A and B are shown apart, each in its own frame.
Chain A
Amino acid sequence: GQNIDQPTEMTATEGAIVQINCTYQTSGFNGLFWYQQHAGEAPTFLSYNVLDGLEEKGRFSSFLSRSKGYSYLLLKELQMKDSASYLCAVIDSNYQLIWGAGTKLIIKP
């Protein structure tokens, strides 16, 4: 079966750095997305990786290792508004998005 694993919940301090990991086992791989979802709202796009390496976008970076079936989302200079769930999703061989359950990130002052 297809599986995506993320930690259920993480806590970090305002101004700090946090890394959210995602491991996947899917039938094929055609890319990986990270989405942010604030409570009660729709998911919104954060990043996309299809090749190995680091993609940086402002305070957010996403890393991919296809050989290890592993990705992480790195958030720097954490702000209170970063409190949200972060969803990892993999595009499989049928170009379907397989979603992880999400990681709830709690930011403390």
Chain B
Amino acid sequence: NAGVTQTPKFRVLKTGQSMTLLCAQDMNHEYMYWYRQDPGMGLRLIHYSVGEGTTAKGEVPDGYNVSRLKKQNFLLGLESAAPSQTSVYFCASSPGTTSYNEQFFGPGTRLTVL
């Protein structure tokens, strides 16, 4: 099992460009999440999904969109990148709604917006 994978691993964008980050999991998990992690701050939830075809906003959703067309994939889109979106982006997945809901993380995508 590959677990949770993310592509790309690194990306540099210019302000105003768009891109999509892809997350895939092979554990048949219902829940998937997108986080950003900035120096000195905790992981901040951008969007999440509780199942195929569903998405919901997290703590910092502005400037991002997501889609979950297939259970195993969760896409994060930046329509018009801004320097404030320079960050490390982590995707995670978890089995479901029980309180013991360990999240499994992908390796991260390091995004720089110039």
Question: Which residues of A are at the interface with B, using a C-beta cutoff of 8 A?
Answer: 4, 8, 30-31, 33, 41-45, 48, 50, 87, 89, 91, 95-97, 99-102
Contact, CB under 8 Å: A101 / B105: no
Given known A-B contacts A42-B90, A42-B108, A101 and B41 have beta carbons under 8 A apart: yes
Contact, CB under 8 Å: A43 / B45: no
Question: Which residues of B are at the interface with A, using a C-beta cutoff of 8 A?
Answer: 40-45, 58, 90, 97, 99-108
Given known A-B contacts A43-B105, A44-B105, A101 and B42 have beta carbons under 8 A apart: yes
Q: A41-B107, A48-B100 are in contact. List 20 more A-B contacts (CB 8 A).
A: A4-B42, A31-B99, A31-B101, A42-B106, A42-B108, A43-B90, A43-B105, A44-B105, A45-B102, A45-B104, A50-B99, A50-B100, A91-B101, A95-B97, A96-B45, A97-B45, A97-B101, A100-B42, A101-B42, A102-B42
Given known A-B contacts A4-B42, A42-B90, A87-B42, A97 and B103 have beta carbons under 8 A apart: yes
Bound CA span A8–B39, Å: 11
- Beta-carbon nearest neighbor of B48 in chain A: A96
Bound CA span A8–B41, Å: 10
State the majority secondary structure of interface residues on B.
Answer: loop
Q: List 6 A-B contacts (CB under 8 A).
A: A8-B40, A43-B105, A45-B102, A50-B99, A97-B45, A99-B44
Contact, CB under 8 Å: A87 / B43: yes
State the majority secondary structure of interface residues on A.
Answer: loop
Q: Which residues of B contact A43 (CB under 8 A)?
A: 43, 90, 105
- Beta-carbon nearest neighbor of B96 in chain A: A95
Q: Which residues of B contact A95 (CB under 8 A)?
A: 97, 99, 101
Q: Which residues of B contact A91 (CB under 8 A)?
A: 99, 101
What's the nearest-Cβ distance from chain B to residue A71, in Å? Answer: 15
Bound CA span A48–B99, Å: 10
